[in-house]
Structure 1
Amino acid sequence: MSDPRFDPSQVFQAFGMRHVDSQGFDAAVVQAPGADLRCVFLWGQDCYNCNLFKQAALMHREALLELGLTWFEADVYADEPLGRRFSLHGVPTFVLYRSGKRLGRITGWPGLPQFTAAVRHQQEIAENSGQAS
């Protein structure tokens, strides 16, 4: 059972997620300077699985912050063109970018161990190619 005091919107502030939309996505995420690993959290209002991620993220805040991601978020229920851009079949979806390149995506919330492993894999690739943030 979920905590009645749980406010899913707290996750945006807790992780410093910057809101993006279909119109400003490229400028904010793809074309922005830097070699940081960017994670775009695509979600939907009143989405049960999205709220599961938000609650898990708040519970495991320190572990997720240690990953050093730059976070972005977009409600693709409200911004359908952005959802179509990524051919979404479900949310939550997490899309990873570094230095203008789309690295991959995670569809659904796989849990902290699998999410962390996927992010660490991308960080290792960057370190081995000399692009570490």
Structure 2
Amino acid sequence: MSSPLAFDPARMFAVFGMRAVDSAGFDREVVQAPGDDLRCVFLWGKDCYNCNVFKQTAMLHKDALLDLGLTWFECNVYDDVALGQRFSLHGVPAFMMFRHGKRLGRISGWPGLPQFTEAVRRLRSGPAAPPAPASTQ
């Protein structure tokens, strides 16, 4: 029997509105989906100590993380090895950032809230829209 104060790592997915993705639908759901939102894919593993550290930290600082305005996705790469291989992961957690169909970068490990926030701010300050096609006139 668990204590009412016991930490449930899966609860974090609901709090952040994380949508589960897998290797089969990743491009369709993350890369090719319309919108100019900044998308963060949380790649994690079941019973991964460092992944659970992030999950606990995320719940403690949920307001600050939610204020970043990210669209969140998640995948257990222990179950979906192909997705981990796609991004050449050597460890989890990892956070893949996408916007406008482009991979903007990866944050490996959980660097802490200040560093994560600063990385997101740098990505936000980048181009807000994809470049316009060149004129052929």
TM-score (norm 2): 0.90
> Counterpart in 2 of 1:91?
92
Equivalence for 1:53: 54
User: Percent of counterpart pairs with the same letter?
Assistant: 67
Q: Do residues 31 (structure 1) and 32 (structure 2) align?
A: yes
Structure having the higher helix fraction is 1
Divergent runs of 4+, >2 A: none
How well do the aligned residues superpose, as a CA RMSD in angstroms?
Answer: 1.2
**Corresponding residue SS for 1:97:** strand
Partner residue of 2:135? none
Residues 1:10 and 2:11 are matched in the alignment? yes
1:21-71 CA-partner distances (Å, limit 9, x unpaired): 000000000000001000000000000000000000000000000000000
Q: Distance in 2 between matches of 1:92 and 1:130?
A: 27
Structure 2: distance between partners of 1:48 and 1:130: 35
Specify the alignment match of 2:123 in structure 1: 122
> Secondary structure of 2:97's match?
strand
Query: What secondary structure does 1:106 align onto?
Result: strand
Partner of 2:79: 78
Cα distance in 2, alignment partners of residues 130 and 39 from structure 1: 16
Larger radius of gyration: 2
Cα deviation, residue 130, structure 1: 3.8
What amino acid sits opposite 1:72 in the alignment?
F
SS at match of 2:57: helix
Is there any run of 5+ residues in structure 2 with no aligned partner, and where? 130-137
Normalised TM-score (structure 1): 0.92
Q: Secondary structure at the match of 2:125?
A: helix
How many residues are matched? 126
Give the whole-Å Cα distance in 1 for the aligned partners of 2:10 and 2:112: 19
Contact 2:44 2:77 in 1 (8 A): yes
What is the one-letter code of the residue matched to 1:83? G
Paired position in structure 2 for 1:41 = 42
Q: How far apart, CA to CA, are the structure 2 residues paired with 1:44 and 1:61?
A: 21
Q: Secondary structure at the match of 1:73?
A: strand
